[in-house]
C-alpha cells in the first residue's frame, strides 16, 4: 500500500522563549515492512543537529531553534510503500538484545489487577499468549478518547476501564513482561479509511518478542497485528521513550501544542 503522510505539530508559547531543543524519532524505520520514497522533516527557523541510529534501530535527528521565538512548526511529509508482514518486524538493524525489554518503567509498572489479567492467558506458546493478552486488554480497556491523558499509567487505565491506544499499548507491555515476554512501545501512523471508527492517524501499539519469529506487533486498540496500514517510526520502553518528538524550551513561557496528522493511500 502506498501511503502519504502529512503530520504538522505546532508549538506556541504565550511569551517568546530563548531557544528550543528537540529530539526527533520521525523517520520511518528502515525495515522490510516499509519502503520510504520521500520523507521530509522541517522545523520552522530550525537548525538541524546531530543524527544517528540508536540501539533499537531508530534514526534520531536533533534540532534546535534559536530564540526569541513564540511559534514553532514541525512539518513531516512523506511517502511510503508498506507491505503486510503479518505483524512481524523484518530487517530492522538493532543491537539491544530482547531481554533488555523486560524491564519496567513507571507507566508500565504492574499492579495487582494487571497481574491478575496477565495470569488469565493460558496459551502454551509465546505467540498464543501475546494474542490472548492483546485480546484481554482490548476487552478490559474500552477505546474512549479523552478518558485518559499522556501521563496515565497502564494500571490507572485498567482501573478506569477506558483509554486510548497509548493505554492499550502500555497495558499489553506490562502484561507481556509479566509473562516474561520482552515488550516495547511503538510509535507510528495508521491509515484508516472511512470505516466510521474514530481512530487517530498518529498511532501507537506494542511489539512483543516471540522467540523464533522476532518482534511482532500487536494493536489491542484495533484487535489486530500491524499490517500494510501501519507506518512504524520507532520504539521505546514506554510512550515517553518512544515519543516521535521530545523537546524543551528555554524560558518562562508556557507551551501549547497542536497536532494535525493525515495519512492517505493509493492502492497499487
Partner 1 sequence: MSTYFNEMIERGAVRPPYARLQGWVDQMPAELRNLKQAEAEALFRRIGITFAVYGEGGDPDRLIPFDMFPRVFSAQEWFRLERGIKQRARALNAFLADVYDRGEIIRAGRIPGRLVYLNEAYEKAVAGIRPPKNVYSHIVGIDLVRTGPDEFFVLEDNCRTPSGVSYMLENREIMMRMFPELFSANRIQPVEAYPELLRRTLASVAPEKCTATEPNVVILTPGHFNSAYYEHSFLADMMGVELVEGQDLFVEGEFVWMRTTEGPRKVDVIYRRIDDAFLDPLCFRPDSMLGVPGLMDVYRSGGVSICSAPGAGVADDKAVYTFVPEMVRFYLGEEPILQNVPTWQCAKADECQYVMENLADLVVKEVHGSGGYGMLVGPKSTKEQIEAFRHKIEADPDNYIAQPTLALSTVPSFVEEGVAPRHVDLRPYCLVGERIELVPGGLTRVALREGSLVVNSSQGGGVKDTWVLAE
Q: Give the binding site for partner 1 (CB under 8 A).
A: 19, 21-23, 47-56, 60, 62, 64, 66, 94-97, 99-100, 102-103, 237, 240, 246-248, 250
Cell numbers given for 180 = 516474561
Q: Nearest CA to 134 among 116, 155, 117?
A: 117
Q: Nearest CA to 203 among 245, 183, 240, 231?
A: 231
Nearer to partner 1, 102 or 147 (CB): 102
Neighbouring-strand partners of residue 12: 71, 256
- In whole angstroms, the minimum distance from the beta carbon of 109 to partner 1 comes to 14
- In whole angstroms, the minimum distance from the beta carbon of 250 to partner 1 comes to 7
- In whole angstroms, the minimum distance from the beta carbon of 260 to partner 1 comes to 23
Neighbouring-strand partners of residue 143: 163
- In whole angstroms, the minimum distance from the beta carbon of 89 to partner 1 comes to 17
Question: Would you report the helix, strand and coil content of the chain in percent, each value rounded to 5?
Answer: 20, 45, 35
Nearer to partner 1, 15 or 51 (CB): 51
Nearer to partner 1, 62 or 147 (CB): 62
What whole-number distance in Å separates Cα of residue 257 and Cα of residue 247? Answer: 12
Nearer to partner 1, 100 or 264 (CB): 100
Amino acid at each position: 500500500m502506498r501511503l502519504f503522510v502529512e503530520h504538522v505539530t505546532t508549538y506556541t508559547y504565550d511569551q517568546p522563549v530563548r531557544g528550543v531543543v528537540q529530539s526527533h524519532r520521525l523517520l520511518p524505520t528502515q525495515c522490510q515492512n516499509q519502503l520510504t520514497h520521500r520523507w521530509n522533516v522541517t522545523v520552522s527557523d530550525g537548525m538541524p543537529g546531530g543524527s544517528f541510529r540508536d540501539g533499537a534501530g531508530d534514526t534520531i535527528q536533533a534540532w534546535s531553534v534559536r530564540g526569541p521565538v513564540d511559534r514553532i512548526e514541525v512539518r513531516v511529509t512523506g511517502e511510503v510503500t508498506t507491505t503486510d508482514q503479518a505483524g512481524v518486524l523484518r530487517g530492522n538493524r538493532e543491537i539491544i538484545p530482547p531481554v533488555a525489554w523486560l524491564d519496567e518503567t513507571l507507566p508500565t509498572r504492574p499492579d495487582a489487577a494487571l497481574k491478575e489479567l496477565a495470569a488469565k492467558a493460558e496459551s502454551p506458546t509465546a505467540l498464543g499468549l501475546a494474542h490472548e493478552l492483546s485480546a484481554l486488554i482490548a476487552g478490559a480497556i474500552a477505546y474512549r478518547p479523552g478518558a485518559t491523558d499522556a501521563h496515565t499509567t497502564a494500571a490507572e487505565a485498567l482501573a478506569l476501564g477506558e483509554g486510548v491506544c497509548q493505554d492499550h499499548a502500555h497495558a499489553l507491555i506490562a502484561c507481556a513482561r509479566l509473562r516474561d515476554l520482552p515488550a516495547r512501545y511503538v510509535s507510528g501512523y495508521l491509515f484508516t479509511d472511512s470505516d466510521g471508527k474514530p481512530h487517530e492517524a498518529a498511532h501507537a501499539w506494542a511489539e512483543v518478542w516471540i522467540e523464533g519469529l522476532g518482534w511482532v506487533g500487536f494493536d489491542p486498540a484495533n484487535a489486530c497485528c500491524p499490517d500494510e496500514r501501519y507506518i512504524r517510526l520507532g520504539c521505546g520502553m514506554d510512550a515517553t521513550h518512544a515519543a516521535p518528538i521530545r523537546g524543551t524550551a528555554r524560558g518562562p513561557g508556557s507551551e501549547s501544542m497542536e497536532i494535525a496528522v493525515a495519512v492517505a493511500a493509493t492502492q497499487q
